[in-house]
Structure 1
């Protein structure tokens, strides 16, 4: 009886030991198979993976661009590319990359999010020494309303009217939201110039406060804010022009209102130097960024509602992209360093507006 019990105990132990041995062997095999993924693009490997960290609004355009670049690279090098993609609000994406998400390339909503990567020593300080100062797309901040514009929205001033429910995302997490806030604050400065003959930051802050009092919700990203609007939340959304054009192209019924005074949006893309070099993806990552500037890629961006950085492509498509009379860029607000300090620092205008100060 004792012998039988011992056998019963021994057999499971033997099986366990065999399973452990199989797992260890399999693990070694997987490690061996993974090693070529760390080789350089020029090594002749048959496949490679490019890791992309992008802001959420660019998802649809990037989704169309990737297979085209894949085909082009295959024809040029014989190498098959795989993609690992991540789409988040721009600020969230930048923090993820700084925190250890090893993206080879980053497509973000604004220059200040790239600056976070530079500060973390992931991207070199000369990243703007490239065509169009590192930018790959442009847009403007506009207003989206329900079909027929039932609230009669014509400009940013109408967002301050009683009963008008406004949507824009949270600038703490969303690069798109910072563009929205910059546009409203800048429009306030423009109004003060018209009325007082000079920029009045106090008047611009008061204007932003009036608009914010009508805000229905603060979503984490421009894409989330757009989803809420599509679900039926709010009367008007402050957003990228390209977001609305893309939805309208798919048959969604919205009206676009282009404010008289609004901001030019510029969206950068960079090689994340530290991670691209670590993965042996330098050549591939640089080729991908260069592809984003080609006429083919720029036409695809335009198809998805972005304003092209290529002069010829923009000339082809300019009928779809009206230029408002009071269009201004980030330099009108003093540049990104000034904007970060004036609007988004711990005691900045935006946080004073949130706190009701």
Structure 2
């Protein structure tokens, strides 16, 4: 794709978005409401290994962003918070699907952290009466960008078709379909239509909290970075 691919479509070429959210068992027996509940001694948390899962990296960053605010930027307390969170995870699966299986089918853990859109799919597949979705007070914006792969589109003569499809995702009809399938959308009218489905949440961004993805990669995900320091030898 071209270097300025995000400029080809509105909203950073992301017609829909989601956020790390919580899925708890029916009745929310552990009364889990926010990130601080996840570090309690009586709570077991399920999410994938942030070393192998992009989904889990958003979870890690969202929890870190929460801790940065809660502890007013005290790095030592932030690291302690994240270490406690990791210590409450009994199994680190390699990906989101395996983590869902651990929580839903193996019935391990009190709360699953995954994208909000995924929690809706899980409830639809396994039963609304078995699980509840909990939206934390603050989370991290997770965008799902789209792009035309120039080389492929030009080789196959599908550029116009690809653009027509991606443009459709921004139309009211396309946005409505996306919202029906559990993702938050950009269109204000469609957003209002499904307001009851998407609780209010204060969304932070990687750019605002961490200075962008390049900086995150160097400071958190590189060998010996902050993730390694809190994740340890698990």
Q: Same fold (TM over 0.5)?
A: yes
Please give the per-residue CA displacement for 1:311-332, whole angstroms capped at 9, x wherever unaligned: 22112212221223x4322222
Q: Does 1:136 align with 2:15?
A: yes
Q: Aligned equivalents of 1:268 and 1:170: distance in 2?
A: 23
Q: Aligned equivalents of 1:152 and 1:271: distance in 2?
A: 44
Name whichever of 327-336 and 342-351 sits farther off: 327-336
Distance 1:342 1:152, change over 3 A: same
Residue in 2 aligned with 1:204?
Answer: 78
Distance 1:221 1:279, change over 3 A: farther
Question: How many residues were matched structurally?
Answer: 229
Residue in 2 aligned with 1:182?
Answer: 61
Match of 2:89 among 215, 225, 230: 215
Q: 4+ residue runs of structure 1 moved beyond 4 angstroms?
A: none
Q: Does 1:155 align with 2:31?
A: no
Unaligned runs of 5+ in 2: none
Displacement after TM superposition at 1:272 (Å): 2.0
Q: Aligned equivalents of 1:213 and 1:230: distance in 2?
A: 20
What is the correspondence of 1:78-157 to structure 2 with a 5 Å cutoff? 123-129=1-7, 130-157=9-36
Give TM-score scaled by structure 2 length.
0.89
Please give the per-residue CA displacement for 1:211-249, whole angstroms capped at 9, x wherever unaligned: 000112223332332232211122111111111123334
**What's the Cα RMSD here?**
2.0
Unaligned runs of 5+ in 1: 1-122, 194-198
Q: Aligned equivalents of 1:293 and 1:178: distance in 2?
A: 27
Q: Does 1:312 align with 2:189?
A: yes
Q: Aligned equivalents of 2:132 and 2:143: distance in 1?
A: 23
Displacement after TM superposition at 1:174 (Å): 2.4
Answer yes or no: is the 8 Å Cα contact 1:190–1:261 preserved in 2: no
What is the correspondence of 1:226-241 to structure 2 with a 5 Å cutoff? 226-231=100-105, 232-241=107-116
Q: Aligned equivalents of 1:287 and 1:158: distance in 2?
A: 45
Residue in 2 aligned with 1:242?
Answer: 117
Give TM-score scaled by structure 1 length.
0.60
Distance 1:202 1:267, change over 3 A: farther
Q: Aligned equivalents of 2:216 and 2:55: distance in 1?
A: 14
Q: Aligned equivalents of 2:79 and 2:146: distance in 1?
A: 31
Residue in 2 aligned with 1:328?
Answer: 204
SS at match of 2:123: helix
Please give the per-residue CA displacement for 1:85-138, whole angstroms capped at 9, x wherever unaligned: xxxxxxxxxxxxxxxxxxxxxxxxxxxxxxxxxxxxxx2111110211111211
Displacement after TM superposition at 1:156 (Å): 1.3
Residue in 2 aligned with 1:98?
Answer: none
